[in-house]
Amino acid sequence: MRTQVGIIGAGPAGLLLSHLLHLRGISSVVLEKRSREYVERRVRAGVLEQGTVDTLVEAGVGERMLREGLPHHGIELRYGGAGHRIPFEKLVPGRSITVYGQQEVVKDLIAARLAAGGDVRFEVEDVALHSLESQPYITFGGERLDCDVIAGCDGFHGVSRPAIPEGVLSVFERDYPFAWLGILARVAPSSEELIYARTERGFALHSMRSPTVSRFYLQVPADARLEDWTDERIWAELRTRLETVPGFTLATGEIMERGITPMRGFVAEPMQYGRLYLAGDAAHIVPPTGAKGLNLAVADVRVLTEALAAYFADGSTGLLDGYSDACLKRVWRAQHFSWWMTTLLHTFEEDDPYARKLQLSYLDYVTSSEAAATTLAENYVGLPFDR
C-alpha cells in the first residue's frame, strides 16, 4: 500500500493534517491505535484561539463549532477576595476565544474525513516507523504502508519521537510538583466566563462546555489518587477555592467524568528527522494553564501543510527543511506563557512568605496595568498565525 503522507495518530493534529492535505489534493492515511469511540469520547482541553477557530472555519469544518461553541471576550483572575476581569475586547480588539471541547473538534474532523472518503484506520496495532532517511514506510498489524513522508502526530506517548535515533534530539523539560484533577459535571456554569482562581490552598479553574455542562480543575499534589477524591471532597474543595468573592455561589451537579493530568513542559528539538515530521504533543507539551496544547498542534499542522504542499507541487524542500525552526518560535512563546500563567496562579510548596508576596504583587500588576494585562490577553487569544 502506498500514500503520500503516512500520518500516525488521530488526535486533532493528525486529523486536521489529513483534512488540510486533502484540500490541497495530497493523499494520506491516518493510523490510530485507539477506537473511534475512544478518541471521540476522550475529554481534553476546550479553549480555541482565534487562529484555531479561523483555521477550522476556512477548512470548512467549523460549522458546528460556530453554532455550538461559546465565544468568550474575557477571563477572570480571582484572588485575594476579589475577581478581576481581563477584557479581550478592549485589550486585543477583534480577537477572542471559543470554548468548544477538543473531542468535538475531533468528531467534526473524523466526520469530514470519512465524508470525503478519507482513509482513517482505528484500532491499528504495532505501528512502527522504518527507513526514515529515505523511502520511509510504516508497518502495522501485518501490513506495510509506503509513503513519501511520515507525520508523527501520535501525542506525547507515541512511537514517532522514539523512532528518531538517539543523540539527534535535544529535549527540554520541566516537571511541576503538582497535577490537575479535572471533572466534567452536569450543571450550568456558575459564571459566564472562565475563572482562574489563586488561593492559599492552591489553584482552581472554572470552565464550561455548554449551558448545561461545566468543567472544573483543581491543583492537587503530583501523587494524588482519584480514589482519594470523593465527589463531596471535590465539590467542597472547589467551593473553598472559588467561593471567595461576595455573592458568588458555585452550583454543583453530577460528575460525569474525572481524571488527573500531570503538569509538565516539554520540547524536543528539532521537530523533524529525515522524512519524519513531528506535530502537536508528539513534539511538545505545555502545562494546561495557558490553554495552548491544542492550539499549538493546529499551528504546527498549518506550517506542515504549507511545506508539504510546496514539496508535492514542485519537489522544493525549502519549507520542509525549515519546518522545525518555523514552529519552534511559537512553541517556545507558548512554553513561556504557560509557565508564566502556571507560576502566577499555583501554590508551590517551596514558596516562602516572600515568594507569595511577589506572586500577589505580580497579580495586582497584571490586573491593574493595561500593558501587563495586554501581555496576558494577546498570548491567551493567541498570536496571529502569519507573523
Q: Which residues bind ligand APR (CB under 6 A)?
A: 8-14, 31-34, 39, 44-45, 102, 124, 127, 153-155, 158-159, 280-282, 293-294, 297
The CB-side HSE value for 328 (13 A sphere, CA atoms) comes to 15
- 68's torsion region: left (phi>0), alpha (psi -120 to 50) or beta? alpha
- So which residues are the catalytic ones? 72, 196, 288, 292, 380
Least distance to ligand APR from the beta carbon of 307, Å? 17
Least distance to ligand APR from the beta carbon of 303, Å? 14
Q: Which residues pair with 269 in a beta bridge?
A: 170
Give the one entry of ligand APR, ligand PHB, none that residue 55 binds, where binding means its C-beta sits below a cut-off of 5 to 8 angstroms depending on kind.
none
DSSP output for 67-107: HHSEEESEEEEEETTEEEEEEHHHHSTT--EEE--HHHHHH
Q: Determine contact, residues 178/288, Cβ cutoff 8 Å.
A: no
* Cα 386 from Cα 21, distance rounded (Å): 19
Q: Which is nearer to ligand PHB, 113 or 346 (CB)?
A: 346
Least distance to ligand APR from the beta carbon of 211, Å? 23
Give the one entry of ligand APR, ligand PHB, none that residue 47 binds, where binding means its C-beta sits below a cut-off of 5 to 8 angstroms depending on kind.
ligand PHB
Q: Which is nearer to ligand APR, 83 or 152 (CB)?
A: 152
Segment holding 172, helix H or strand E: strand 170-186
* Cα 299 from Cα 297, distance rounded (Å): 5
Task: Please give the residue ranges that form the binding site for ligand PHB (CB under 6 A).
Answer: 45-47, 194, 205, 207, 215, 288-289, 291
Least distance to ligand APR from the beta carbon of 154, Å? 4
Q: Which is nearer to ligand APR, 45 or 373 (CB)?
A: 45
What are the grid coordinates assigned to 279, written together?
506535530
Give the one entry of ligand APR, ligand PHB, none that residue 127 binds, where binding means its C-beta sits below a cut-off of 5 to 8 angstroms depending on kind.
ligand APR
Closest CB to ligand PHB: residue number: 207
Q: What pairing do the DSSP bridges indicate for beta strands 137-140 and 128-130?
A: antiparallel
Which residues of 222-275 form beta strands (DSSP E)?
254-269, 272-273
* Cα 179 from Cα 231, distance rounded (Å): 18
- What is the rounded (10 degree) CA torsion for 184, 188, 192, 197? -50
Q: Which is nearer to ligand PHB, 51 or 288 (CB)?
A: 288
Least distance to ligand APR from the beta carbon of 40, Å? 10
Give the one entry of ligand APR, ligand PHB, none that residue 91 binds, where binding means its C-beta sits below a cut-off of 5 to 8 angstroms depending on kind.
none
Q: Determine contact, residues 297/280, Cβ cutoff 8 Å.
A: yes
| Residue 270 preceded by cis peptide, ω within 30 | yes
Give the one entry of ligand PHB, ligand APR, none that residue 34 binds, where binding means its C-beta sits below a cut-off of 5 to 8 angstroms depending on kind.
ligand APR
Q: Which is nearer to ligand PHB, 205 or 218 (CB)?
A: 205
